[in-house]
Structures are given as C-alpha cells and as structure tokens.
C-alpha cells in the first residue's frame, strides 16, 4: 500500500484492527488459500470501504459497542462461539454496514490471483483474450426439429 493511501485513509489503527478481525472471521485461510485479512487483499478492502467512511465507521463503532456490552471483551478477543452471536447482532443493528462489508470483501477477495488460480480461473481481465466455448453439437436439437410449428400464425 502506498503512503498516500495510508495517510488519506479515514480509518485509524483501531478501525483497521476491527476490519482485519472481521475479514479474517468472514474468510479464513485454508490449504494454500489466503484469508481475506491477507495484507494485499485487506488493503484493497480498506481502500474500497474508504469510499463510504460514514457507513463503515458507524458499523465498526456498533461492532465495538456490542462486543463490550454483550461479551465484556474487545472484538479480537471474543471466543469463536461468541463470534457467531456478535455477527448476528451486528447484522441486526448495522445491516447497511454488513451488506457493504460483505460485498466489498467478496469483490476484493475473489479477484485475487491466488484465489482465482485455485478456482481454475484465469487471473486477468476478460478482454482482450476472451474465452473459448466449445462448439455445440446441434444434433441435440433433433427431437425439437421433429415438431411442427406451434406459434399462432395470425
């Protein structure tokens, strides 16, 4: 991440910790796959969320408050069973933030080269190379071809 973006980011250290924790909870690492809190992916998430700082900061504040009120714990320290309840409560109390967060994490995670390779997808833009679709064997249509015209010819 460049210095400029870090300096311009509307999120401080505390918010970054919360975002890291949530991203890790949402998509953890697995067998060679990065987690959504992987440094490269996380920076993209933060840049994207920085376009909607009000929703994000309000959501993170709620998250922090729920953790303290319900579990008397800072967010990163809640246990894995408490985590499920915490996310459910956040979903109920800050739905706009959860929708934004989920959609942003999905957008950044599922365009990462490592993730795309694991899905057997090319890590590139669709244009200009495009894709090959196998030619169709139109004998598949034989049963339909036997049908007489059935539209109403009026």
Cis peptide, bond prior to residue 43, ω within 30 of zero? no
Stretch that binds other proteins, among 2-10, 57-65, 67-75, 116-124 (CB under 8 A): 116-124
151 binds other proteins (CB under 8 A): yes
Q: How far is the CB of 75 from other proteins (least distance, A)?
A: 14
Q: At what angle do helices 95-109 and 80-93 cross, to 10 degrees?
A: 120
In angstroms, the CA 51 to CA 54 distance is 9
Question: Which of residues 16, 62, 111, 114 is near other proteins by CB under 8 A?
Answer: 111
Output the CA angle 97-98-102, nearest 5 degrees: 120
Q: How far is the CB of 41 from other proteins (least distance, A)?
A: 13
Q: List CB contacts of 116: < 8 A, sequence separation 6 or more.
A: 110, 122, 123
DSSP letter at 31 equals T
32 binds other proteins (CB under 8 A): no
Choose between 12 and 32: whose C-beta lies nearer to other proteins. Answer: 32
The residues that touch other proteins, with contacts defined as CB under 8 A, are: 25-28, 30, 33, 48, 83, 87, 99, 102-103, 106-107, 109-111, 115-116, 119, 121, 124-136, 138, 140-141, 143-145, 147-154
């Amino acid at each position: 991440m460049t210095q400029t973006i870090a300096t311009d980011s509307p999120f401080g250290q505390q918010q970054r910790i919360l975002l890291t924790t949530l991203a890790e909870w949402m998509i953890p690492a697995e067998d060679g796959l990065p987690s959504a809190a992987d440094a490269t992916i996380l920076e993209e998430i933060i840049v994207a969320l920085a376009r909607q700082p009000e929703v994000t900061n309000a959501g993170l504040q709620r998250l922090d408050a729920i953790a303290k009120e319900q579990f008397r714990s800072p967010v990163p320290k809640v246990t894995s069973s408490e985590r499920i309840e915490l996310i459910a409560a956040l979903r109920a109390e800050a739905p706009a933030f959860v929708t934004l967060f989920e959609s942003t994490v999905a957008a950044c995670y599922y365009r990462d080269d490592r993730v795309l390779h694991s899905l057997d997808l090319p890590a590139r833009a669709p244009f200009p190379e495009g894709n090959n679709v196998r030619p169709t064997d139109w004998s598949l249509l034989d049963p339909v071809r036997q049908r007489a015209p059935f539209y109403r010819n009026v």
